[in-house]
């Protein structure tokens, strides 16, 4: 809980104590009034301040302004009547602030994301001075300084390797579990602060100024992110604000009219009018609807941080998905063996598996697994006397030396090319063609040699999750555009995008590119959902209207998103969208019921109040209630009964059926619109009949 939230909680508790003291303890009128005023100001000072600010900025239709008008109006009326009872105004403000406290937990999302990002940063950097390593603050390291990073240590700041070669764990940044190789020279020398060195000692030349590193930019992007209100939320707010304003004006003008015609309307009657006529039914159910949506999402193995996020998902237009770990499984896997002419598939299969026996990487294990599936198995006894050549970042290959002197190697094409050329051999056009074809298809070729002779090529591919193409097609039918985001080159990205069945892709994407795409879509009035698992996805997850983080991803990604998918299913948004549509329907139908309900109450309360003074209002007195007092009491009782009765519907939700928007609208208007008009007439009349008998 933040300091702001604690402060709000203390205000609520203090106001509650003052309110209960004034309400329950027999005190002189002036003392109880002073306690009510103290409670009101304690809990409502922030609302009154915001309302005044809205007036100064000509924003007079927001909820803070309307709440201030209603409560101040009730207090003014009580002062005018000299009743000394200000409990209604204080109670309304108190419960409103309790709701604000619960909502405030969503405000600190970006800050929590920043905290997660900060946790990745190393605490020190190693600088060699006088032959000894000295630990210094990374913020004190200037551009151009050479730092030393030992195995098991984090790279403190962005830079380039100037000496050495090592396997780097970038999972804290990218969300990908497979280590990558970084080495001095070439285009693979760049390293990122926060990543971890696994294998070898390296020297890194710092290239980023303090405050301008990758992590620093991530933090800045998260800080600058902002979410949109949903169109439905805006429309509903405007609608309820309009009706509330109308009802406030009605209640405010009733007193002069009553005085003019000689009707006696008490403070209790006016408070009852506020309670019954201002659209409160839906307000009492908003939290229930949101909780229900979060519960249904949880049953779908999705943790949501707010009901608003689920509702927003029902209206999204565009979905961005990170490729690795989201669309694809994550680690590349062996998919096919390509023996060259003259080599039997069985012999080549044996060479592939044996060359991977000493390879502990996920790719090496996948080769052994694929070989087992195709019928070649080996036991530890088969490896007796065999010399294992383990995979290293320096050699980029692995293999075995058999007892009879046979040398089997498997590795990157350039590594094997160097080995065979050193022996006076080379790549045949056939091998070159296989390597090129695999690369063009978005795969990674691994070449296998025996005694420095090329025997074939192994294809590694990003494995697209099963059934994903069909699920993307379903999203397309729901009107959701899918966009794949990847750091791959455009050729590879296009191949995977076509294979996965997405509508569009962003290749060689940087965090700024994701944000730019989301903001461009949002500026055109569209709602955007983002799914990702890496720290580099955090800014986009924070900016998107719906941010779904994979549970297998980094902490920063999970903090930035407003949902976490426990199943790591990139198409889980299908279920989330359906739940969101159900929430939208539930909120819309209950709003219709609430407004119809409040309109119907006019015919119960207003005619009963004035019929004695204005007999011509008898035409509106269709309910013929017993008395003005029983009418007010009946309406208040009905209002208290109807909300609990509607809670099960809010929790269960209105049934979602893909029958078309027009058909759904007609059905819901008939059931809940007409029902909202009829139910108060029947309910209030029955309650009035009971009250007239008992009292």
Q: Which residues are catalytic?
A: 322
Quote the CA–CA distance of 299 and 2 in Å, as a whole number: 30
Q: Which two structure tokens, joined as six digits, stand for 442?
A: 């978005």
| Best CA proximity match to 165, nearest among 177, 149, 147, 143 | 149
CB 179 within 8 A of CB 210: no
β partners of residue 136? 125
β partners of residue 546? 529
Quote the CA–CA distance of 189 and 239 in Å, as a whole number: 58
In 139-228, alpha helices (H): 171-174, 214-223
CB 538 within 8 A of CB 218: yes
* Burial status of residue 667 (CB atoms within 10 A of its CB: 0-12, 13-18, 19 or more): middle
How far from 78 is each of 17, 72, 270, 271, 273, CA to CA, in Å? 21, 10, 10, 10, 14
Contacts of 325 (CB under 8 A, 6+ apart): 175, 176, 177, 533, 534, 550, 552, 553, 568
CB 35 within 8 A of CB 27: yes
Quote the CA–CA distance of 258 and 246 in Å, as a whole number: 18
CB 432 within 8 A of CB 457: no
* Backbone torsions φ then ψ of 538, nearest 5 degrees: -60, -45
Per residue, the 3-state secondary structure of 600-642, as one string, reads HHHHHHHHHHHCCCCHHHHHCCCCCCCCHHHHHHHHHHHHHHH
Residue given tokens 């984090």 in the structure block: 154
Beta strands in 199-259 (DSSP E): 202-206
* Backbone torsions φ then ψ of 152, nearest 5 degrees: 90, -10
CA dihedral 420, 423, 426, 427 (to 10 degrees): -20
Q: Three-state DSSP class for 206? A: strand
* E strand or H helix at 351: helix 345-355
CB 222 within 8 A of CB 535: no
Quote the CA–CA distance of 591 and 673 in Å, as a whole number: 9
* Backbone torsions φ then ψ of 134, nearest 5 degrees: -115, 130
Contacts of 26 (CB under 8 A, 6+ apart): none
DSSP string, 659-680: S-HHHHHHHHIIIIIHHHHHHH
CB 417 within 8 A of CB 410: no
Q: Quick one: how far is CA 151 from the chain centroid? A: 36
């Amino acid at each position: 809980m933040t300091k702001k939230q604690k402060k709000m909680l203390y205000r609520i508790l203090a106001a509650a104590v003052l309110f209960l003291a004034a309400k329950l303890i027999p005190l002189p009128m002036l003392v109880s009034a002073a306690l009510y005023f103290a409670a009101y100001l304690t809990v409502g000072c922030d609302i009154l301040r915001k309302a005044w600010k809205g007036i100064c900025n000509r924003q007079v239709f927001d909820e803070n302004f309307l709440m201030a008008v209603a409560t101040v109006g009730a207090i003014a009326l009580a002062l005018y009547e000299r009743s000394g009872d200000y409990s209604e105004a204080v109670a309304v403000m108190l419960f409103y602030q309790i709701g604000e406290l619960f909502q405030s937990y969503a405000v600190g999302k970006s800050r929590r994301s920043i905290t997660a990002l900060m946790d990745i940063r190393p605490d020190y950097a190693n600088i060699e001075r006088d032959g000894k390593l000295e630990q210094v603050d990374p913020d004190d390291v200037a551009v151009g300084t050479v730092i030393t990073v030992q195995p098991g240590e984090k790279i403190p700041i962005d830079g380039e390797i100037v000496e050495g070669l090592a396997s780097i764990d970038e999972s804290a940044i990218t969300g990908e579990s497979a280590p990558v190789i970084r080495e001095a020279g070439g285009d693979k020398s760049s390293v990122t602060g926060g990543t971890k060195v696994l294998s070898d000692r390296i020297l890194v030349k710092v290239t980023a100024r303090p405050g301008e590193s990758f992590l620093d930019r991530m933090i800045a992007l998260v800080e600058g992110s902002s979410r949109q209100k949903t169109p439905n939320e805006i429309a509903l707010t405007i609608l309820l604000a309009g009706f509330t304003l109308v009802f406030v004006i009605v209640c405010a003008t009733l007193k002069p009219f009553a005085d003019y015609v000689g009707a006696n309307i008490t403070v209790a009657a006016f408070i009852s009018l506020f309670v019954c006529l201002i659209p409160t039914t839906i307000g009492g159910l908003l939290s229930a609807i949101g909780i229900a949506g979060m519960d249904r999402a949880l049953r779908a193995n999705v943790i949501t941080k707010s009901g608003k996020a689920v509702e927003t998902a029902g209206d999204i237009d565009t979905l961005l998905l990170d490729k690795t770990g989201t669309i694809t499984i994550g680690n590349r896997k062996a998919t096919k063996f390509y023996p060259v002419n003259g080599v039997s598939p069985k012999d080549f299969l044996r060479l592939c598996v044996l060359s991977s026996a000493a390879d502990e990487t996920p790719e090496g294990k996948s080769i052994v697994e694929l070989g087992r599936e195709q019928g070649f198995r080996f036991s530890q006894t088969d490896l007796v006397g065999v010399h294992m050549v383990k995979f290293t970042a320096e050699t980029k290959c692995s293999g075995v030396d058999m007892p009879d002197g046979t040398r089997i190697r498997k590795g990157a094409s350039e590594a094997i090319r160097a080995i065979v050329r050193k022996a006076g051999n080379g790549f045949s056009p056939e091998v070159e063609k296989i390597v090129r074809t695999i690369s063009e298809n978005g795969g990674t070729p691994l070449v296998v040699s025996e005694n420095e002779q090329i025997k074939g090529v192994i294809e590694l591919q990003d494995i697209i999750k099963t059934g994903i193409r069909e699920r993307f097609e379903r999203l397309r039918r729901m009107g959701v555009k899918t966009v794949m985001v990847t750091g791959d080159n455009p050729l590879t990205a296009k191949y995977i995008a076509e294979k996965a069945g997405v509508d569009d892709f962003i290749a060689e994407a940087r965090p700024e590119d994701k944000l730019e795409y989301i903001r461009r879509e949002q500026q055109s009035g569209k709602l955007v959902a983002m799914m990702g698992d890496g720290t580099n996805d955090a800014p986009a997850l924070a900016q998107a209207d719906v941010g779904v983080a994979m549970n297998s991803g980094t902490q920063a990604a999970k903090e930035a998103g407003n949902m976490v998918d426990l199943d790591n299913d990139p198409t889980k948004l299908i279920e989330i969208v359906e739940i969101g549509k159900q929430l939208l329907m539930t909120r819309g139908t209950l709003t219709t019921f609430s407004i119809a309900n409040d309109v119907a109450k006019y015919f119960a309360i207003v005619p009963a109040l004035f019929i004695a003074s204005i007999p011509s209002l008898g035409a509106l007195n269709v309910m013929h209630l017993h008395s003005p007092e029983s009418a007010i009491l009946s309406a208040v009782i009905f209002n208290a009964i109807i909300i609990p009765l509607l809670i099960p519907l809010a929790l269960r939700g209105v049934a979602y059926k893909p029958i078309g928007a027009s058909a759904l609208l007609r059905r819901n208007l008939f059931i809940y619109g007409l029902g909202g008009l009829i139910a108060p007439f029947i309910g209030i009349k029955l309650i009035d009949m009971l009250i007239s008998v008992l009292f």
